Amino acid sequence: MTVTVGSVKVERSIIETKQIALREFSMDDLSSWHQVLSDQETMQYYPSAFDLNKTRSWITWNLENYSRYGFGLWAVILKETQEFIGDCGITMQNIYNDGNLFPEIGYHIDKRFWNKGYATQASGACLKYMFEYTEYNEVFAYQKWTNMPSRKVAEKIGMLLRDEYDCDKNTKTTVYSITRSEYYLANRNN
C-alpha cells in the first residue's frame, strides 16, 4: 500500500514481524523481482525460471489479486537493510483441479536468504493475517511432493498433511492445511 506524505510516496507494510515487512508489489519491483524469479535454483520446483515478461505478469496478477480479494503475494522486505528478498502471501488456487478456489500461502525467497527462517516467519504471519482479517475457515499450502523445504515450512506453521495426489503438473502434489479452530487451539497461549 502506498500513501503520499507531502509529495513523497511511502510504501506501507501490510504485515510486519521482528525481521521482515510485507508490502504490496509495484512495477518498481520488476528488476529486483526478476533477479529472484529468473534464477533456476530458486525456481527448481517450477517448470522453468521466469523471463522478464512472465515476471511482469506475476506482478500484474498480484495487483489484480489485491483489488479482487484484498490480498495476494506481497513483497518481503528485510527490515534491517530494506532489501527486497522475495514474496509471500495468499492467493486463491485451484488446488484439486476441480474448479474450486482455496486460499493458499505461497512464497519465493531469494536463495541468498535461504535457511534463515524468513519463509517460515512470513508464512506464519500470513496465516495469522488470514484468520484475523478474513472469513476463510481453512488455509492451504500445496507443492510438488519433492519440495521438502516448502513441506517443512507448512509443518512449522502448524499445517497438517491432508492429501497427496498424482498429477501431470507435479507428478505428485502434496496438500497441507490448517483450519481456523486448529490454528487457535495451537496458538491459544500466544
98-115 confidence digits (pLDDT tens): 989 999 999 999 999 999
Residue 121: strand pairing partners = none
Predicted pLDDT at 97:
87
Nearest C-alpha neighbor of 163 from the set 103, 96, 100: 96
123-137: b (≥16 Cβ within 10 Å) or e: bbbbbbbbbeeeeee
CATH number for 2-186 (one of 3.30.200.20, 3.40.50.300, 3.40.630.30, 3.40.50.2000): it is: 3.40.630.30
Amino acid identity of residue 15, one-letter, is: I
Please tell me the pTM assigned to this model: 0.89
The residue ranges of the chain whose pLDDT is under 50 are 1-10
Spatial distance between the Cα atoms of 39 and 116, rounded to a whole number of angstroms: 19
**Residues linked to residue 142 through DSSP beta bridges, in sequence order:** 175
Sign of the C-alpha dihedral, residues 41, 43, 144, 113?
positive
- pLDDT at residue 168 in the model: 83
Q: Are 74 and 29 a contacting pair, CB within 8 Å?
A: no
| DSSP conformational letter for 78 | E
Main-chain phi, psi angles of 26, to 5 degrees: -140, 165
Query: What pLDDT shows up at residue 171?
Result: 86
For residue 11, what pLDDT is reported? Answer: 59
**Number of DSSP helices (H) and strands (E) in the chain, helices first:** 5, 10
Query: What type of residue is 5?
Result: V
| Per-residue pLDDT, 47 | 84
Give dist(CA 149, CA 111) in Å, integer.
Answer: 12
Alpha-carbon dihedral 32, 33, 38, 41, rounded to 10 degrees: 100
